[in-house]
Structure 1
Amino acid sequence: MSNNKVSVVVPCYNQAQYLDEALQSVLNQSFNDWECIIVNDGSTDKTEVISNKWIKKDSRFKYVYQNNSGLSSARNLGIKKAESEYILPLDADDKIGENYLELAYQAFQEYKDLKVVYCEAKKFGDSDEMWKLPEFSLYSLSRKNMIFCSALFRKKDWKAIGGFDVNMIHGWEDWEFWISMLKNGGLVKKIESVQFYYRVKDVSMLKAMGAQKTKETEEYLSVKHADFFVEQLGSFSSLLRETERVKKSYEEKLKSKKFLINAFLKKLLVLQF
């Protein structure tokens, strides 16, 4: 391990137009003991040119290239090259607040049982609002992800679970990663200040998933982490029974004349205002 305590890993695939902002947010950190590894995932734009500019500006920036292999693979390569104990992934189109590394590192020093530290987040770009995420629990994590990719964790924990799953080619790789890391235990802490900024764009990986890719990804997750989903949500038979119960409840409501009238009146009020 080097003297750097945190390695920031920035995968980049044809996002050169955003890369300066991401790297500037790393350079602005109040915490100085970091290195930043830029991973060019086979980009055809000016990613290499911009990366070289930052390497010349500060020797803590480093650069590696690979043929296009996907986001999970790019993150894994950067983490493999990382020389620090702690890792923070940062997508090339996002930014971190100037105190993020300092606050996250301090949290790990104070609470030895921590596995993941993240923070409050805000959207920018095509949106300008707080990113309201539900409080973390394993039960909540079994229903949806609430930890973005830019959270601090130990390199040894990444290694223990085999890294980011390269089979997650359509998206949700962060969700799968946190399930793998946390399902067998470990504390999570959220810093109560905005230290992560998520860029909202018209075109994104998540928006491009589509119904079929979503279905394939859900099926893959449900098989790989069947133990986790059953433990948190119940057996498959109990889930089926709950689905039937909800279905019958709605069928009974639809048969109710009073329910239909109330639903119609509520809809009418919405249209009026």
Structure 2
Amino acid sequence: MRPGLVSVVIPCYNQGRYLEETVRSVLASTYRPLELLLVNDGSTDDSLERARSLEKKHPEVRVIDQPNGGVARARNTGIRAAQGEFVLPLDGDDTVSDAYIAEAVSVLQQRPEVKVVYCRAVKFSEAGEKAWKLKPFSLRALARDNMIFVAALLRKSDADAVGGFSEDMHMGREDWEFWIKILKNGGEVVQLPFVGFYYRLTPGSKRKKTGTRQKKRERIAYLNKKHADFFQQELNGPLRFQRSWSRRYNTLLRWLGRK
């Protein structure tokens, strides 16, 4: 592991048309040293060819090709191959500002108690862009919902310590569960006071596909099974389908002598 090196892990599944824009945004960063790990996750478009082309043009870029296994597995492949002290997971159609990585690394280097650094964000599409209104971070708020997008910087050692992203979480929001694993036993979070991340909205966005009521029920059941201790600590019991009411409902049940 090289101290100070940032490994940007970019999983890509059929995002070839956006991949060069994503890579160029990282290469425009004011921070060095960098490595970019492009993990082609069994794409059926020209993603692999485009990734290989970028690898030939830029010495910082390294391509890993694997059969399709889902975004969590692709991220984990990249994290395992990463040689850097710090990791930035970044999806293959999103972009970052030129200052984001440098400012985030500065915080992580100066403050060892901080585990995760992220920033303000924008959602964009061909129709334009709009601010992404992220809720303030706290562990109690994290127990109810996620406010840290996947493209946050952290130490590789912290990702390794929790086994990376959970590859058996097939109902979406793997990043939420990842941050719970990273933070539930301690560690501070810093949000930088500027827009440094740009989240692309596309018609086939996974976020839309995993936003159904059934997927939400599956997700809540998975989280409760895996992190019962965390929800007990923050919500006085399990996460409920009406998530914002979880703590009040659990407290009422406890007061009534029920669980």
The answer, yes or no, to whether TM exceeds 0.5 is yes
The answer to whether the 8 Å contact 1:136/1:188 transfers is yes
Q: Distance in 2 between matches of 1:197 and 1:24?
A: 13
Identify the residue that residue 214 of structure 1 maps to in structure 2. Answer: 216
Q: Distance in 2 between matches of 1:170 and 1:121?
A: 24
After TM superposition, give the deviation of residue 244 of structure 1 in Å: 11
After TM superposition, give the deviation of residue 203 of structure 1 in Å: 2.5
Answering whether residue 249 of structure 2 is matched by residue 239 of structure 1, we say yes
Amino acid corresponding to residue 182 of structure 1 in structure 2: L
Across the two proteins, how many residue pairs are aligned to each other? 245
In proportion to residue count, which structure has more helix? Answer: 1
Amino acid corresponding to residue 83 of structure 1 in structure 2: Q
Q: Distance in 2 between matches of 1:225 and 1:127?
A: 38
CA deviations 1:103-140 (Å, max 9, x no partner) are 01111122111100000101111451111101110000
Structure 1 243/124 Cα, relative in aligned 2: closer, same or farther at 3 Å? farther
**Matched position secondary structure for 1:43:** coil
Identity %: 44
Over 3 Å off, 4+ runs: 235-238, 240-245
Could you list the runs of 5+ residues in structure 1 that have no partner in the other structure? Answer: 246-273
Q: Distance in 2 between matches of 1:90 and 1:133?
A: 18
Amino acid corresponding to residue 74 of structure 1 in structure 2: A
Amino acid corresponding to residue 213 of structure 2 in structure 1: A
Q: Distance in 2 between matches of 1:24 and 1:12?
A: 15
**Matched position secondary structure for 1:228:** helix
Identify the residue that residue 242 of structure 2 maps to in structure 1. Answer: none
Answering whether residue 55 of structure 2 is matched by residue 45 of structure 1, we say no
Q: Distance in 1 between matches of 2:186 and 2:3?
A: 29
Name which one, 1 or 2, has greater alpha-carbon Rg.
1
Identify the residue that residue 9 of structure 1 maps to in structure 2. Answer: 9
Q: Distance in 2 between matches of 1:241 and 1:26?
A: 46
After TM superposition, give the deviation of residue 183 of structure 1 in Å: 0.3
Q: Distance in 1 between matches of 2:98 and 2:92?
A: 16
* TM-score (normalised: structure 1): 0.86
Identify the residue that residue 57 of structure 1 maps to in structure 2. Answer: 57
The answer to whether the 8 Å contact 2:4/2:86 transfers is no
The answer to whether the 8 Å contact 1:170/1:205 transfers is no
Answering whether residue 184 of structure 2 is matched by residue 158 of structure 1, we say no
Q: Distance in 2 between matches of 1:26 and 1:118?
A: 15
The answer to whether the 8 Å contact 1:10/1:38 transfers is yes
Q: Distance in 2 between matches of 1:241 and 1:114?
A: 31
Identify the residue that residue 102 of structure 2 maps to in structure 1. Answer: 102
Could you list the runs of 5+ residues in structure 2 that have no partner in the other structure? Answer: 239-246
Structure 1 217/29 Cα, relative in aligned 2: closer, same or farther at 3 Å? same
Amino acid corresponding to residue 233 of structure 1 in structure 2: L
Structure 1 3/108 Cα, relative in aligned 2: closer, same or farther at 3 Å? closer
The root-mean-square deviation of aligned C-alpha atoms, in Å, is: 1.8
Amino acid corresponding to residue 67 of structure 2 in structure 1: N
Query: Matches of residues 46-195 of structure 1 in structure 2 within 5 Å?
Result: 46-125=46-125, 126-195=127-196
Structure 1 224/3 Cα, relative in aligned 2: closer, same or farther at 3 Å? closer
The answer to whether the 8 Å contact 2:236/2:251 transfers is no
